[in-house]
Amino acid sequence: MEVPSLQGLGIEYGLLTMEKRAKLSEKHRVLRIAIPKEISNEERRVAVSPAGVHTLVSNGHEVMIGADAGEAAHFPDIEYADAGAQVESDTATLYGACELIVKVGPPSEEELKLLQEKQILISALHLGETTPDFLKRLMDLGITGIGFEFIRDSDGTLPIVRMMHEIMGSMAVQIAARYLESSEGGKGVMLGGISGVPPSNVVILGAGVVGEWAARTALGFGAHVIVLDNDLGALRSLEHYLDRRITTAMATEQYIRHAVQTADVLIGAMMTAGQRSPIMVSRDMVASMRDGSVIVDAVIDQGGCIETSKPTTHSEPAFKENGVIHYCIPNMPSNAARTATYALTNVLVPYLIKIGEVRSVNDALWTDVGLRNGTYVYRRHLTKKSLATMFGMPYRDIELLIASGI
């Protein structure tokens, strides 16, 4: 439930502080921005809220949004129209009329066919599902592809990833609590226990942002929390932030195996930015868990870190293997569509405005380190070494491409 005095003020109107039209500089250009309705993976989020659209329009840009794009997040078309967007029911027209496409999930096969030469595409990439053919298609079209997973600011933070990972960590525990209930086929236990009954064991693989917010939420439920990672510094920091209320251990095979055997809930949160998640829990480790235990692989969009995990959908979110419930939805924040849309808007809109403040995308990439780091295809070249290594493809350094003007 939203708190009007706080969330309404901070989110609904927080982006409207730039409503006043400023005199456009000579370098400023009008962007034609498309926000399509998401059609894949039962995605409920939309890339930009009506408040964000209002900000873009107030800064001199033209916005076209797919009809019913915000419906699942409870943003009706009329709110987008009132914010200054053109609501378009024909997806082909939307893609054909705009130079910059901003969306949540990567383009589907159907949407790939609608992309135009030299467009800018800003979206998630979902490394666990990315293929060489997808990347080659973008390169053939001369697309400038900017991925949520790669946008890294000068201070080293990944702003979009962090926002989504905070949501994922919190949701992972909420979801696990529900699936532990008898009605869902779980063990029939509460995370926090009650007087005289001990709490459940929640084991979290990974001390990054997902792991941190999962630990915070699990502690709020009253669970006993164990966090494992192979980065001692990250474990030390997390212990400090959470006032030593968690148990930590290095993610060695011995510690993982022991922790998994005693886990009522196992949350997969082990990942490295821009790379596929490592497999940390083997099939035989999962088989050692007790019937009715719950696994939430929160990094399945990056390939997952548990061997028995496989992507699920919102309509069929869970499956059982070896008596253990697995929940592995790649776009987990989609179930908090409104909150996630606000979070995306807060990060994406300033980047879109920056692109419009310079003469070309080349200038935008040169002047903004976040956008430059986020670019994975540019001028028909792959520009991420991690993707090149993953798929055995050549790549070119983004800074050299920008500087050379090739």
Two structure tokens written together for 281 = 């829990």
Does residue 264 contact residue 202 with C-beta atoms inside 8 Å? yes
φ/ψ of residue 273, rounded to 5: -55, 130
Q: Collapsing DSSP states into helix, strand and coil, what is residue 30?
A: coil
Q: How many CB atoms lie within 10 A of CB 406?
A: 11
Two structure tokens written together for 175 = 């979801």
Two structure tokens written together for 292 = 């009715």
Q: In the beta sheet, which residues pair with residue 296?
A: 267, 327
| 141-167 b/e (C-beta count within 10 Å ≥ 16 → b) | bebbbbbbbbbbeeeeebbbbbbbbbb
Q: Characterise 398 by phi-psi region: left (phi > 0), alpha (psi -120 to 50), beta (else).
A: alpha
Active-site hit among 264, 297, 301, 368 = 301
Is 54 catalytic? The answer is: no
Active-site hit among 54, 126, 165, 381 = 126
Q: How many CB atoms lie within 10 A of CB 224?
A: 20
Q: Measured between alpha carbons, how far is residue 336 from residues 136, 146, 149 in Å?
A: 33, 24, 19
Residues 6 or more apart whose Cβ sits within 8 Å of residue 401: 378, 379, 381, 383
Is 61 catalytic? The answer is: no
Strand stretches in 67-163, DSSP E: 86-88, 100-102, 120-123, 144-147
Rounded Cα distance between 30 and 84, Å, is 14
Catalytic site positions: 126, 301
